Amino acid sequence: MENILKVSDMINENFIIDLISDDKEAVLEELLDVICESPLITDCKRFRKEIFKREKLMSTGIGYEIAIPHARHKTVKDFVIALGRKKEGLEYASIDDKPVKLIFMIGASDKQDKDYIKLLSRLVLRLKNKEFVEKLLSAESPAEIYRNIVETK
């Protein structure tokens, strides 16, 4: 039986924040500070470099006010996700040139090739649901965002 990857299994309520910064690099740093609290990331300095290296390659702003900065590296033991929300939006060089309001940062092991692609596509598919995205944006707190992620199929 195939292992079904669930975003809700990989995100910790403590890794969901309302972002303070107003520029892309600073927002990525905020999320890196959060995601690096995970014991699944063994070398945060290296993971940080990988996230910025990936972002230089091409913006992870996928459109629809969403960005998914991500990196696979040997310093990550297993999937870990952090989520930052910027209700008023943030310039992010997205493919549709719209400001970004939700940023899902994903770390994965360099050995998780197939599951990594599955997770990214599963997340993008969920985020195409406008009602779901609106729930995340209108939630009163990170705890409510977490509940919406866990409860929405």
Q: What is the pLDDT of residue 11?
A: 85
Tell me whether residue 30 is exposed, middle or buried, using C-beta atoms within 10 angstroms of its C-beta: 0 to 12, 13 to 18, 19 or more. buried
Q: Is residue 1 one of the residues assigned to a domain?
A: no
| Distance between CA atoms of residues 102 and 99, nearest Å | 10
3-state helix, strand, coil in the chain (%, to 5): 40, 25, 35
pTM score: 0.93
Question: Is 153 within a domain?
Answer: no
Percent of the chain with pLDDT over 90: 79
For residue 94, being part of any structural domain is answered with yes
| Domain extent for 36 | 7-147
Residue 70 covered by a domain: yes
CA-wise closest residue to 28 among 47, 6, 42: 47
Gap between the Cα atoms of 100 and 116, Å rounded: 23
Number of domains in the chain: 1
The amino acid at residue 72 is R
Residue 113 to residue 12: CA distance in whole angstroms: 22
Average pLDDT on 84-102 reads 95
- Who has greater pLDDT, 80 or 1? 80
Q: Which CATH number covers residue 34? A: 3.40.930.10
Does 2 fall in a domain? no
Q: pLDDT tens for residues 33-69?
A: 999 999 999 999 999 999 999 999 999 999 999 999 9
Res 106: pLDDT: 95
Whether residue 19 is contained in a domain is answered as yes
Q: What is the mean pLDDT of residues 5-10?
A: 74
